[in-house]
Amino acid sequence: MRFVGNAHCPTRGALPEAIIRVSLVNMRMTAPGRPTPLRRGLYLVTPEPLPGLALIARLLPFAACLQYRSKQADAAARRREAEALQALCERAGVPLIVNDDVALAAGVGAAGVHLGEHDEAIGAARAALGPHAILGSSCYDDPARAEAAARAGASYVAFGAFFPSPTKPQARRATPELLRDAARLGLPRVAIGGITPDNAPPLVAAGADLIAVISGVFAAPDPVAAARACAALFD
Positions annotated as catalytic residues are 69, 138, 168
Are residues 141 and 172 in contact, defined by beta-carbon separation less than 8 angstroms? yes
C-alpha 141/C-alpha 174 separation (Å) is 5
H helices present in the chain, as ranges: 17-26, 53-59, 75-92, 102-108, 122-129, 143-152, 176-181, 201-205, 215-218, 223-232
Q: Provide the angle, in degrees to the nearest 10, between the axes of the packed helices 143-152 and 122-129.
A: 30
C-alpha 94/C-alpha 99 separation (Å) is 16
CA angle 182, 183, 189 (to 5 degrees): 70
| Distance from the Cα of residue 27 to its chain's centroid | 18
Q: What are phi and psi of 9, to 5 degrees?
A: -155, 145
Q: Is the peptide bond between 143 and the residue preceding it cis, with omega within 30 degrees of 0? A: no
